Amino acid sequence: MNNAKPMSSKIIRVYLLGAMVLLVFYGAIFYHTVLYTENQSSERRLALISPYHFKLFGQGFDGEIQIDPMLKIYDQYDILPSSIKRRLNKNWQGSISFHFEDDSEYSVFAQQVMTNKGLAIVYALEDVDAIEWDDTEFAIFQTVIFGLGLLIYIIAALFIIKMAKRISTPFSTLANKLESHDNEKYTPLSIQGELSLELVQMLTSINSYRSRIRDAFMREQAFTRYVSHELRTPMTVIRGGISILRRLDDEKVKKQSSRIDNAVIEMEQLIHTFLLMARNEDSDTINVDISDEFIQQIVQDFESTIKANQVSFHQELQCNFSLNVQPLLFAAVIKNLLKNAINCSVEGNVSLFISPQRIDVIDNGVGLDAKPRGYEGFGIGLNIVRDICEKYHWQFNIKNNQGDGCTASVIFNQESAVSEL
């Protein structure tokens, strides 16, 4: 994905490469076409005028006859120039052109006619090099043609670049809108300007899926709010019952009342967490000072569990810092990570490390591939952590250690406005 290129770059690259190949190809075709045309023109002209001059051999002339500065005729094969004889068969007839090592070029025409000596094959030899372009003239002509082709190539390239950007701009605009943070509301997307049929179909499909996601998200939020509000009433009733039980002098009742009270507090915090996540708003987000005192208030809720599970617990705060977050949700992240680690590490070790960049909870318990006996909540707390991390665009991952246990990590992002105190 990191090597992905913009659509406009791909269109431009394909065009430039294809156009360059075509330019070279047609340049080579043009060069050979010019040479072929010159040869064909010389051979046809020689085939037309030679029979007229061959009549001289029937009028008493013989041997080699110089017709003009370029044309000679011969009444027999043996008197032809040696360079020509090496390339011709004695009984050959027709027209052909030869290019020699010294850059000279000749056209030859052979035909059987009646001479003073009877029926014989006679030859016409023309120096076509004298009337064709020399190397300098042909090079200049090639340069001019190539320059015109290159100019057309550049003009077409500029046009293609402009059109490629025009075609790709709506797609880039759509991609930018999909990546924007305003996207969390899943409102329909719209793009201004001239749109292709494919882009219109894509935009329609995206908006259709966004509408479904928005509806599902709203249903989830509504369900969470309804359930959370409905749970508050029985929580209030339970609190009232606890206050009555505490008036009794029975120590066992007081002990159980305390446990119920702690469970109610935990349940109320969980309800509040769900409500905050259901609102999906940042209005309650503030700069929280993360200090040893703040962390200790969170960790102290696990003192009885740590003691009951005989867990060796260690916590370390690298330095005090400020984090842009809802305090209850930040506490929920740490509590759920610790809850899973402590319950999975009976008679083991659990360490909590917090820095301005991340949270790490390390244990030597059963790991990810097993579930501790008697603990049915394994994984539920991690889902809550994952949802909170998605809300704040944090990174969350959990992996097995090389030995025993696992490590859960939460990495803050720059938008959380982390700053050291």
Q: Which of 61-75, 157-171, 354-368, 371-385 has the lowest mean pLDDT?
A: 371-385
Q: Where are the domains of the chain?
A: 7-139, 183-281, 284-420
Dist. CA 106–CA 171, nearest whole Å: 62
Q: Grade residue 21 by pLDDT with cuts at 50, 70 and 90.
A: confident
Decide: 95 and 107 in contact? Cβ < 8 Å. Answer: yes
SS3 category, 99: strand
- Retrieve residue 243's tokens: 């206050």
What average pLDDT does this structure show over 10-38?
78
pLDDT at 27: 77
φ and ψ of 148, to 5 deg? -65, -45
274 has pLDDT over 80: no
Res 60 pLDDT > 60: yes
Helices 327-343, 251-279: crossing angle, 10 deg rounding: 120
Most confident of 133-137, 208-212, 292-296, 368-372: 292-296
The pLDDT value given to residue 166: 80
Mean pLDDT, residues 365-375 taken together: 65
**How many percent of the chain have pLDDT more than 70?**
90
> Residue 417's pLDDT band (boundaries 50, 70, 90)?
low
pLDDT for 372 beyond 60 = no
Assign a CATH topology to domain 183-281.
Answer: Helix Hairpins (1.10.287)
- pLDDT for position 374: 46
| pLDDT of res. 361 | 94
Band the pLDDT of 232: cuts 50, 70, 90: confident
Output the average pLDDT for the chain: 82
The dihedral over CA atoms of 150, 153, 154, 159, expressed in degrees to the nearest 10, equals: 170
Q: Residue 261 has what pLDDT?
A: 77
Which pair of structure tokens corresponds to residue 265?
Answer: 């507090």
Please state, in angstroms and rounded to a whole number, the distance separating the CA atoms of residues 211 and 387: 21
Could you give the residue ranges of the DSSP H alpha helices within 105-196?
Answer: 135-179
Query: Does the structure show a pLDDT above 90 at 293?
Result: yes
Give the pLDDT score at 350.
93
What is the pLDDT confidence band of residue 246, given thresholds at 50, 70 and 90?
Answer: confident
C-alpha span between 112 and 362 (Å, rounded): 105
Pick the CATH number of 284-420 from 3.30.565.10, 3.40.30.10, 3.40.630.30, 3.40.50.300: 3.30.565.10
Closest CA to 317 of 346, 287, 289: 289
How far apart are the C-alpha atoms of 212 and 199, rounded to whole Å? 20
Q: How far apart are CA 40 and CA 33, in angstroms?
A: 10
Greater model confidence, 407 or 15? 407
Q: What is the pLDDT of residue 252?
A: 78
Give the global pTM: 0.52
Instruction: Compute the distance between CA of residue 374 and CA of residue 198 in angstroms, rounded to an integer.
Output: 56
Q: 352: pLDDT confidence band, cut at 50, 70 and 90?
A: very high
Q: Fold match between 183-281 and 284-420?
A: no
The dihedral through the CA atoms of 192, 196, 197, 200 has a sign that is negative
Q: According to the model, what pLDDT value does residue 20 have?
A: 80
The answer to whether 98 touches 85, Cβ cutoff 8 Å, is no
Q: Do 329 and 273 form a contact (C-beta atoms < 8 A)?
A: yes
Average pLDDT on 59-64 reads 86
Cα–Cα separations (whole angstroms), residue 210 to 176, 200, 203, 213, 281: 15, 15, 10, 5, 19
Predicted local confidence at residue 168, as pLDDT: 78
| pLDDT tens figures, 108-153 | 999 999 888 888 899 999 888 767 666 677 678 778 877 887 888 8
Residue 305 has pLDDT above 70, yes or no: yes
- In angstroms, the CA 86 to CA 75 distance is 17
Beta strand 312-317 with 105-115 is unpaired
Q: What number of other Cβ atoms are within 10 A of residue 26's Cβ?
A: 13
The pLDDT of residue 375: 46
Asked if residue 304 has pLDDT above 50, the reply is: yes
Say which residues have a Cβ less than 8 Å from residue 319's Cβ, sequence separation at least 6: 355, 356, 420, 421
* Residue 291: predicted pLDDT: 92
Work out the average pLDDT over 332-358.
Answer: 91
Report DSSP state, residue 321. Answer: E
pLDDT value for 411: 93
